[in-house]
Amino acid sequence: MNNNLLFTVYQYLNAKKMLATYQKIIMETICEAIRDVIPGIKARCDYCHSERIVFYTEAMSEEAPEKITVTIVNQKDRDFWLSSVITDVFPALGGSVDDVSICLSQEERDEIMKRLKKLRGSVKGE
Dist CA 93 CA 72 (whole Å): 18
| Residue segments in the chain with a per-residue pLDDT below the cut of 70 | 1-2, 48-50, 60-79, 122-126
Span 76-102, pLDDT tens digits: 544 589 999 999 999 999 999 999 989
Q: Domain limits of the chain?
A: 5-119
9, HSE (Cβ side, Cα atoms, 13 Å): 3
Geometric angle at alpha carbon 50, from 61 and 106, rounded to 5°: 55
pTM of the model: 0.77
pLDDT of residue 58: 79
CB of 125 closer than 8 Å to CB of 44: no
